[in-house]
Amino acid sequence: MKILIINPNSDPEMTAAIERTALDFAAGDFEVDCRLTPGAPRFIETFEDELKAAPGMIRLLRDHHDHCDAFVIACHCDPNLDVLKEISRKPVVGIGEASMKIASMLGHRFSILSATRHSIPHKEDLVRKYHLEGMLASIRTAGEGVGALVDQDGYIRAARRAAEEDGAEVIVLGCAGMTRLDRVIQERLGVPVLDGVVCALIIAGGLAKYGLSTSRAGKYDPGD
């Protein structure tokens, strides 16, 4: 089994970090291939950024469709997830969707760590899209800007406040770029911390093994 991980942005370092996490989890049980999206912005922040990433993501999926068994979209805002589900006959899983739905099985409420304040309304919309408003404790950010991605202490503080003040029993890393923070925060706080890439591999790999894919009966009917 081989799973293609599509990083919707074009940042090579983040792509490499995601791939390391995926390889560690796969541990040789299945193959993973992680690709950045040609033509996509360096980071996905706006609605227009999502649109700009779409052609490259569709191209990646179509180019690898025959020889891969499942696809993961490795940006926590699940950009272009619906269109990729529509055009593929194999499982396509977003790391936002997978991590939040698994979080909902591990505790009463979860909080999301967000890389930027700007993402909060987008994440709130995503939580609502997945019918998880009632299980969300809070969305917290460690600070502003891309530099915040490396501020490990800030994320630990944000996660602690989520657990102590907001009632979060589970923490979800809200950006693929936070990969590797799961163990660090979990050791400090003692609550489960979810990396979306791992969560998406669990679902995508499981669906591929089961032989199931997105329903083409209605919403995702490609009309062909």
Which residue among 87, 143, 152, 184 contacts a second copy (CB under 8 A)? 87
Would you count residue 185 as binding a second copy (CB under 8 A)?
no
Minimum CB distance to a second copy smaller for 16 or for 183: 183
Backbone Cα Rg of the chain: 16
> To which H or E segment does residue 203 belong?
helix 196-210
Q: Could you tell me which stretch among 2-10, 60-68, 130-138, 145-153 binds a second copy (CB under 8 A)? A: 130-138
Torsion, Cα 17 80 92 186, to 10 degrees, reads 40
Would you count residue 113 as binding a second copy (CB under 8 A)?
no
Chain residues 131-170 in contact with a second copy, contact rule CB under 8 A: 131-135, 163, 167-170
CA atoms within 13 A on the CB side of 16: 3
- C-alpha 140: how far from its chain's center? 17
Q: Could you tell me which stretch among 64-72, 126-134, 142-150, 172-180 binds a second copy (CB under 8 A)? A: 126-134
One-letter amino acid at 105 equals M
Would you count residue 80 as binding a second copy (CB under 8 A)?
yes
Would you count residue 191 as binding a second copy (CB under 8 A)?
yes
